[in-house]
């Protein structure tokens, strides 16, 4: 699921009309917010999904069809991708509880941790912070760097590398140049 790049409020409002399983994309345009608008203008985005998320959404569609059939007249159609067993929208605490249970996560886990992990992994793989901010729908890359990027920050090596080049004994620099050439 694209929960790594999508806020839980956006996931709760996601409808099947905004999911294109053939193209492997979702369009995030509205969350479950009092005003019915996205958190920031940059939050409105269409995201390409990894294959694992597309497969998970196909499975979700099949599960939901079974639930719809089982619920019969109790089903309330809202077109939601993530709906209760009778088709209604999730309350935030119920979504967290059900996701924790399905994923086998501890009781203290919160959805923001998926976004934090996504940002950290993208950063570790060398994706520029501006691109990560765009993917996460952050208004500024500062939010991405200060609030979301954790633990996997690459070690900044530039200073050490330059200082080693400057202060390396001349003989080692010559041998290194000879060996490299």
For residues 57 and 67, the answer to whether their CB atoms sit within 8 Å is: no
Q: How many CA atoms lie within 13 A of 104 on its CB side?
A: 0
- Concerning whether 138 is annotated as a catalytic residue, the answer is yes
- Concerning whether 7 is annotated as a catalytic residue, the answer is yes
CB count in 10 Å sphere of residue 49: 20
Q: At how many degrees (to 10) do helices 129-136 and 112-124 cross? A: 150
Q: Which of 7, 12, 45, 149 is catalytic?
A: 7
Q: Which of 5, 30, 45, 115 is catalytic?
A: 115
Q: Rounded to an integer, what distance in angstroms lies between the CA atom of residue 85 and that of residue 16?
A: 16
Q: Which of 39, 42, 96, 134 is catalytic?
A: 39
- Concerning whether 170 is annotated as a catalytic residue, the answer is no
Q: Rounded to an integer, what distance in angstroms lies between the CA atom of residue 154 and that of residue 127?
A: 11
Q: Which of 5, 30, 45, 138 is catalytic?
A: 138
For residues 123 and 147, the answer to whether their CB atoms sit within 8 Å is: no
- Concerning whether 48 is annotated as a catalytic residue, the answer is no
For residues 24 and 48, the answer to whether their CB atoms sit within 8 Å is: yes
Q: Rounded to an integer, what distance in angstroms lies between the CA atom of residue 81 and that of residue 6?
A: 13
Q: Which of 5, 12, 45, 148 is catalytic?
A: 148
- Concerning whether 90 is annotated as a catalytic residue, the answer is no
As a residue count, the chain comes to 181
Positions marked catalytic = 7, 39, 115, 138, 148
């Amino acid at each position: 699921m694209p929960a790594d790049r999508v806020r839980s409020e956006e996931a709760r409002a996601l409808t099947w009309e905004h999911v294109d399983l053939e193209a492997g994309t979702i369009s995030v345009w509205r969350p479950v917010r009092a005003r019915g608008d996205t958190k920031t203008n940059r939050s409105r985005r269409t995201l390409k999904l990894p294959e694992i998320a597309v497969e998970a959404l196909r499975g979700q569609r099949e599960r939901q069809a079974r639930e719809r059939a089982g619920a019969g007249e109790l089903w309330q159609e809202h077109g939601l991708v993530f709906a209760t067993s009778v088709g209604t929208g999730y309350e935030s605490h119920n979504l967290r509880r059900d996701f924790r249970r399905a994923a086998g996560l501890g009781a203290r886990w919160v959805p923001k941790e998926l976004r934090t992990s996504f940002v950290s992994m993208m950063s570790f793989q060398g994706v520029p912070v501006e691109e990560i901010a765009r993917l996460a729908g952050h208004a500024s890359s500062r939010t991405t760097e200060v609030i979301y990027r954790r633990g996997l920050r690459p070690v900044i090596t530039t200073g050490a590398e330059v200082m080693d080049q400057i202060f390396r004994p001349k003989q080692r620099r010559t041998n290194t140049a000879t060996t490299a050439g």
